[in-house]
Structure 1
Amino acid sequence: MESSWFGWIGMTQKPLFLIIFLLTLLFGVGAAASQVQGNRAQEGERAMVVEVHGEIDVRMVALVRRAWRRSVSSGFSRLILDIDTPGGSKARMDEILTLLKNLREKGVDTVAYIRNQGLSAGAVIALGCNRIFMREGATMGAATPVFFGGILNQVEKEVRKKYISAVRAQVRSLASHHGDRVALLAEAMVDPSMELHELRYRGKDGVTRTRLMSTEQMKSLKTGEFQVLEDRVLEPRPLTLTASEALRLGLSEGVVEDLEGLLRELGIGPEEKETLLPNWSEELASFLYRIRFLLLVAGFFMVMVSIKVPGTGLPEALAVLCFLFFFGGNWLVGLAEWTEILLFGVGVGLILVELFLIPGTLIAGIGGFLAIVIALFLSLQPFGLPENPWETEYLTRNLWGLLLSILGGVGLLMLVSRFLPKIPIFNSILLEPERPLEAYSNAATQEKSHANLLGKRGQALTDLRPAGKMEVDGEPVDVVTDGRFIPKGCLLQVIKVEGNRVLVTPASEAEGGLISIPFLLFLLFLGLLAMAAEVFFPSFGVLSILSGVLVVSTVFFSFEHGMGVGLTFLLGVLISAPLVLFLAFRYFPTTRIGKAFLLSGPSFDPKKALPRDEGLLALVGKEGKTVTPLRPSGTIEIDGIRWDAMTRGEMLDAGLPVRVLRVEMSQLVVEQIPKKNSPGDERTQAERE
């Protein structure tokens, strides 16, 4: 009986036990999942603080880039830039602005905290954040770009005006997410010629308003429509604001005592804040970026030393190390990508193919050289082709830097080659200089002299790759070329004898080429001149074809004078052709001849009505109502037809009566028609305003 009773209990409790076990398991899984979500939510509320102190340079870009990666990967919801900087490079500023824009698009709240000074590039970076806070006594502004360039003073003034105009448009677009008022302040920080007025006036409706306007905007207002009560000109120029002025004008959201006060204002606790400090990677990136052109000079120098001293492996290793440091530093600051590094590797591979697999063809060698130069050039800047004046200036500096690095490597090799054999370390590596044949007269082993072969001709008995055999006076002789491939049967001529080393070249080249070098230089000059002329005198491709034929023919016939002369002409064309086009595009339009041939841009007088404005002018004075809210632009309806319209700055709701005042830039400017109220209602409205 007992056994059956316990058996029944066991049978009834087994399903109950399984149910309790499953419920407990589900509850545990749910609690764990909620805990993970809670941790993620808590992690998502964390804020990262980045100290932007000192000059805006590559070290600062690398630090902000690391903060950007950390914010995206770790789920930070807010990035606070602790700014205390006098400014810096515009190129570096643009890279930081790109990172901030990416963070805003990903939903990360970016906050700028001006600790002491946010000037020049620091002010523009602060405008790129979602919100701005300032410490008492801090200043922000003076973002006028510093320009380097130009030949004559007049050219510098014209280019500077365009340069400031482009930067002004950039900051206006950048600050537009803060509102039109802040965008106007940002423009005044850039352009020292822009004068801002804080105008307090009373309109026809009797309402007193305060508005921020430029001098140009004030001139467009009709003096009879308002009464000026106070006109305060914002100083200095370019505009620089204190913390209290920025708060009053709506540029900043608040003035705090210190960073802890800002964190309290944002509701961030000490455990939710993480400060990102510079580490060794930013310092290394800054150091490598500063010596990037020295690394290029050293890299090219070591490549040439490896050609002059083959077989040791030390110059090759040092050259690889220099280029690794060059690309590594540019990669850390965000200039070089994997595409440039792969392109550089492809160029090195093509040169190796030219040297060891298909010597003498020049196709792989030239392609490899071009790939290396393009990879090095692209890794010096964050863009491909310039789109504005400062990118053009940046590209010009990089182009000259790369050219001088190549020439510096060649010049350093020529200088060191005179002293390298005298250095004790290299005495055992380099061959001794050529000695006269009399020095070998007492040698224990007498070798057959080949001095009598100089100037003789004969056919190649084998392919020369570059060593082989040729026939001279019916006897085979071991010979070598200058590195190129010469097929069997080619007529050769001995041009140099160094002991047992007999150097030969094709007999056709030994004659000095079909065209003299001075005439080749003249043809190259004509080709470059035709190339520049095609830019400004359209010839339906005639000048382009003529330029191409002259330049290609010059390079082709230059190889008749030897490999060294041909490569020199080829390198000269690769450098001079882009330089001629660049100089022609930049400076020809400013010359007297250029102004005579080139058409000037269209002129526009804002006081004259455009043809498309004639129909809009008929609406001036008419009354209608707002269809959508005007903030300050929107849609109105007049006589059953809808029109785009804008106010003079005030905000109007939908359904209000309006009157057309004038037409500006093909758009109607309207004002609200005041309602006819009783005297008590007018007094109440005035008090409310």
Structure 2
Amino acid sequence: MAHHLRKQGWLRALLIVFMLSLLLGLPLWTAAAETKAPPSAASAPGTAVFVVPVKQAIESGLQSFLERAFEEAEQASADRILLVIDTLGGRVVNADEIGDLIRSSSVPVVAYVQNRAMSAGAFIALNADQIIMHPGSTIGAAAVVDGSGTLIEDPKTVSHWVGAMRSAAELNGRDPEVAIKMADPYSEVHIKKLNKTYGKGEVLTLTAEEALQVGYSEHTAGSVEDALKYLGLDNRSIIEFNPSLAENIARFVTSQGIATLLLILGLAGVAIELFVPGFGVPGIVGLVSFGLYFFGHYIAGFAGMETAVLFAIGIGLLIIELFVPSFGILGILGIASLVGGILMAAYDTADALLNLTVAVIVAAVVVAVFSYIFKKRGIWNKFILEERLTSEEGFISAESKILLQGLEGIALTPLRPSGTVDIAGERVDVITLGEFIASGARVKVIKVEGTRVVVGEVHTN
């Protein structure tokens, strides 16, 4: 038994060390991952053109990648940044940040719509200095929708987004009415150059030909090379700037669904290992899930080292609370540290809080089911005596004194109120109801409760 407990203690200690090294070693991971990043343009001969793909959902991972691309392009004094766009859109908040990044860039930006620049992708393209489109490509359909694709009707949200689209169009002298109709399905717009009226309930999407006609595209090119030739940049050094392995992982794990799943696996795995110890696998899965969560947010630029440290402290406090009761103080501090670390690591605190709430509920259900199935292995069983001292196991219970009821004897010692009485030649430990009985007095057993014998003095006339 002792050997088994020592073994469990060692396993738990190893898991704790593993978790701390996993979380606190984030900078080492990122340093190793960043060595696989594309070569810097600073070493390229002459003035370079950075060709940067925007071929994924518009979210925090893409934003982080583009920030790195723009920073390297500016450091290299690049001639141009060419964004190759093929996206159905994404999160408005990240599109806003990417729009600011493009507008503030010291390097001119060209958007090459390779296939689709829809929704937030259209907004990104409109912020570029020039737009070039591939034949058959489209741009537009930028109405604000929720995760299920349903139009958002909140006036403030719609007004903000429509204003942002209009401003992006006006930035480079494009017709703002076109951008308004791309974003606002509740407006009615007549576009003279297309000789079309778009009524309520419609959102505008332009083909490459229509975009060229209304001034939303400067040229139509069949390839990136043709676009560079049109721009007079075909003799420049071309730097194809692609996401590193670490950034691809970050983009995957910071997406809303995956981030929530990692939190569920992390919470459930660690909780199962704490409350139903001895398995090992749930604990490792939980720690790896938390490690991926913080790794992704660290690479994306949202989480600092302090978030991982805060989270590790929270786990440590909860473990200590299990073995060193502190009337809940350590537990509360541990939970606060866990929540703080997770929320601080996220880009959007509100989204992170929603994800965490969902994860806690689902993880609680998983842990409850797992604990019920393996209830005999729960940590609480260490505090419960399950063995029975039965005669079958070789234990002998105390002899019942019920047969002494009503018998009389002589007090061998003073009863104050307890003492010893001789009853039928047997020494019996007894107690009175509080009265004092002198040695040698005659007494009678008036009550027997298990092994407790109560006597009273017998008075003679």
TM over 0.5: yes
2:172 equivalent to 1:144? no
Relative to structure 1, the CA distance from residue 317 to residue 157 in structure 2 (aligned partners, 3 Å threshold; closer, same or farther) is closer
Match of 1:259 in 2: 224
Letter of the 2:49 counterpart: A
Structure 2 counterpart of 1:168? 162
> Is 1:246 aligned to 2:239, yes or no?
no
**Candidates 353, 356, 360, aligned match of 1:399:** 353
Matched, 1:196 2:181: no
Residues 1:296 and 2:249 are matched in the alignment: no
Equivalent position of 2:296 in the other structure: 329
Q: Distance in 2 between matches of 1:235 and 1:186?
A: 12
Query: What SS does the corresponding residue of 2:143 show, helix, strand or coil?
Result: coil
Unaligned ranges ≥5, structure 2: 1-40, 399-461
**Cα separation, partners in 2 of 1:270 and 1:324, compared to 1, 3 Å:** farther
Q: Alignment length, in residue pairs?
A: 352
Provide closer, same or farther for how the CA distance between residues 183 and 383 of structure 1 changes in structure 2, counting only shifts above 3 A: farther
Q: Go from structure 1 to structure 2 and tell me whether the alpha carbon gap of 1:447 and 1:134 turns closer, same or farther (over 3 Å shift).
A: farther
Residue 295 of structure 1 aligns with an amino acid whose one-letter code is L
Given the alignment, which residue of 413, 423, 435 partners 2:367? Answer: 413
Quickly say closer, same or farther: Cα 1:267–1:400, change in 2 above 3 A.
same
Distance 1:339 1:437, change over 3 A: closer
Quick one: distance in 2 between partners of 1:79 and 1:53? 15
- Asked if the contact 1:86/1:122 (under 8 Å) is kept, the reply is yes
Which position in structure 2 is the counterpart of 1:392? none
Distance 1:63 1:157 in 2: 29
Deviation of 1:113 after TM superposition, in Å, equals: 0.6
Q: 1:113 to 1:362 in 2, by over 3 A?
A: same
Alpha-carbon distance between aligned partners in 2 of 1:132 and 1:157, rounded to the nearest angstrom:
27
Q: 8 Å contact 1:195–1:233 — kept in the other structure?
A: no
Deviations 1:271-324 (A, max 9, x none): 611223345334423442343222212222233233324688776554432211
CA contact (8 A) 2:265 2:286 kept: yes
In structure 2, distance between residues paired with 1:240 and 1:312: 55
Matches within 5 A, 1:648-663: none
1:293 and 1:138 map into 2 onto residues whose CA distance is: 34
Query: Match for 2:171: what amino acid?
Result: H
**Contact 1:83/1:113 (CA < 8 Å) preserved in 2?**
yes
User: Which whole-Å CA distance do the structure 2 matches of 1:284 and 1:313 have between them?
Assistant: 25
Tell me which residue corresponds to 2:172.
178
Q: Are the aligned partners of 2:46 and 2:237 in contact in 1 as well (CA < 8 Å)?
A: no
The counterpart of 2:241, out of the listed 271, 276, 292, is 276
Q: Is the 8 A contact 1:62 1:285 kept in 2?
A: no
1:431 deviates by 7.0
Looking at structure 1, the residues matched to 291 and 391 of structure 2 have their Cα atoms a distance apart, in angstroms, of 46
Is the CA contact 2:127–2:168 (under 8 Å) kept in the aligned structure 1?
yes
* Alignment RMSD: 4.0
Describe the SS at the equivalent of 1:114.
strand
Instruction: Give 2:111's aligned residue.
Output: 112
CA contact (8 A) 2:143 2:151 kept: no
Match status 1:53 vs 2:18: no
SS of 1:268 mapped into structure 2 = coil
Give the secondary structure class of the aligned counterpart of 1:47.
Answer: strand
**CA shift in 2, pair 1:420/1:191, >3 Å:** same
TM-score by length of 1: 0.44
**1:215-230 → structure 2 map (5 Å cutoff):** none
| 438 and 362 in structure 1: CA distance in 2 versus 1, 3 angstrom threshold | closer
- Once residues 55 and 301 of structure 1 are traced to their aligned partners in structure 2, the CA distance between those partners, rounded to angstroms, is 29
Give, as a single letter, the amino acid of the residue that structure 2 aligns with 1:288: V
1:401 partner amino acid:
N
Match of 2:393 in 1: 442
**Paired AA for residue 291 in structure 1:** I
d(CA) in 2 for partners of 1:117, 1:94: 19
Contact 1:84 1:116 in 2 (8 A): yes
Q: Aligned partners of 1:108 and 1:348: how far apart in 2?
A: 46
SS in 2 for 1:262: helix
Q: Distance in 2 between matches of 1:75 and 1:440?
A: 90
Identity within the alignment, %: 30
1:187 and 2:150 aligned: no
- TM-score, normalising length: structure 2: 0.64
1:307-346 to structure 2, matched below 5 A, reads 307-309=274-276, 317-346=284-313
The alpha carbon displacement at 1:47 in A equals 1.0
Contact (CA 8 Å) 1:288, 1:329: kept in 2 or not? Answer: yes
- CA positional deviation for 1:49: 1.0
Which amino acid is 1:192 matched to?
A: P
Q: Is this contact kept in 2: 1:62–1:333, CA < 8 A?
A: yes
**Which whole-Å deviations, capped at 9, do the CAs of 1:424-446 have from their partners, x for residues lacking one?**
xx89xx97996451568525xx6
Higher relative contact order (CA 8 A, sep 6+): 2
Q: Residue 47 of structure 2 contacts residue 236 of structure 2 at CA under 8 Å; is this kept in 1? A: no
Sort the Cα spacing of 1:64 and 1:40 in 2 relative to 1 into closer, same or farther, 3 A: closer
Unaligned runs of 5+ in 1: 1-38, 150-155, 200-211, 213-230, 385-394, 450-689
* CA distance in 2: counterparts of 1:333 and 1:49, whole angstroms: 20
Partner Cα distance (2:209, 2:187) in 1? 22
* Distance apart, 1:409 and its partner CA: 2.0
Q: Deviations over 1:179-207 (max 9, x none)?
A: 3x4433222210123333355xxxxxxxx
Does the CA-based 8 Å contact 1:43-1:76 persist in structure 2?
no
Match for 1:111: what amino acid? V
* 1:369 to 2:363 alignment: no
How far apart, CA to CA, are the structure 2 residues paired with 1:80 and 1:316? 46
Following superposition, the deviation at residue 95 of structure 1 comes to 4.6
Q: Kindly provide the amino acid, as one letter, of the partner of residue 300 in structure 2.
A: V
